[in-house]
Amino acid sequence: MLRTYVRADDRLRAAALVAEAAPSPDTAVANEAAVIWYDLVEPSLAESRHVEASLGLTLPSRDEMEDIELSARLYQENGAEFMTMTALTNLDGDEPVKTPVTFILTDCALATLRYGESRAFAAFAARAVRTNGHALQNAEVVMLGLIEAMVDRMADVLERIGNEIDGISRSIFRAKAARSNKKQQDLQSLIEQLGQKGDFLSGIRESLVSVTRLVAYHAATENPGRKSGKEARQMIKLLGRDATSLGDHAAFLSGKINFLLDATLGLINLEQNQIIKIFTVASVVFLPPTLVASVYGMNFQLMPELQWSLGYPWAILLMIASAALPFLYFKRRGWL
């Protein structure tokens, strides 16, 4: 899918453009001189060729976008900046999807190449179409606005994850719990939730690191044909600071998750040790009655209690006393 936007009256306006075939570069430049943003979402071959002809550049393939080398993600070619970052889609679900997003910035236009829908892109486009302002004065500021929308989106997600982690923490350290086996099941479920949150935060941290690198590269790149205005330079500084601060907050939440995981595993071990202790105490408590029963179960003729009318009640009472005394002793020492 290819979406194009032109700048009109200090705002973006969606332009109806369908690329059935790749035009020649001269025709493309003549027909689309006002296009400021090409947004390619899982583009077809014809759409890719159309944008390549319009900008006079070669778009990177998806395999090239997924390379982890810094030189393959941030570079210049034919006077244009190619900057690839790691973005996240499906942020409202439990399993976000990592996908590369490439920003191709020229002196007069911006092209974005991505393979997944993003609410941040849709929100920015909707806001830029219906409002006006100096933030849309050139392609560079459009790119920075898109990155800012993505950072704001990740900030909202971090806030949501932080609240969910606080809820999990209260569940782990609640004062009263149900039965032991139900509590262990609850704790195991909480471990799964913490694992999901940890994976979520790992993806956000990776995305924020890529944003920091992209912004730093763009700020350090010198392009004689394009001068960043005062507003753009301020946005670059703010984006770098926001990405760094959000990365620190994500690291804090990751540390909290590790603490909660350790605490949960510790509580599970305590519950299991409690069960083992109960079985151990039970075996010790019933050992004396077993000894008494073994003594009186022996068949000897010269055993006085065999002829005693109260011998059987005496044996029962002795077994109960031999079980109760160790139990009371353990209870008094605090072992139960």
pLDDT, tens digit, 9 for 90 and up, residues 16-34 = 654 443 444 443 443 444 7
In a domain, 277, yes or no: no
Based on the fold, state whether residues 168 and 297 are members of the same structural domain. no
Chain segment 138-168, per-residue pLDDT in tens = 888 888 889 999 999 999 999 999 998 888 8
Q: What total of structural domains would you count in the chain?
A: 2
Q: For the domain that residue 51 is a member of, what is the CATH number?
A: 3.30.460.20
Based on the fold, state whether residues 160 and 245 are members of the same structural domain. yes
- The domain boundary, picked from 231, 248, 272, lies at 272
Chain segment 92-116, per-residue pLDDT in tens = 777 788 889 999 998 888 999 998 8
In a domain, 46, yes or no: yes
In a domain, 99, yes or no: yes
- Would the pTM of this model clear 0.75, i.e. be above it? no
Based on the fold, state whether residues 307 and 267 are members of the same structural domain. no
Based on the fold, state whether residues 160 and 71 are members of the same structural domain. yes
Based on the fold, state whether residues 151 and 89 are members of the same structural domain. yes
In a domain, 112, yes or no: yes
Based on the fold, state whether residues 210 and 63 are members of the same structural domain. yes
Tokens encoding 144: 């920075």
Based on the fold, state whether residues 78 and 198 are members of the same structural domain. yes
Chain segment 210-253, per-residue pLDDT in tens = 999 999 988 888 665 555 667 778 888 898 899 999 999 999 99
Based on the fold, state whether residues 118 and 18 are members of the same structural domain. yes
Where in the sequence is the domain holding 324, given as residue range(s)? 286-333
For CA atoms 223, 4, 129, 93, the dihedral sign is negative
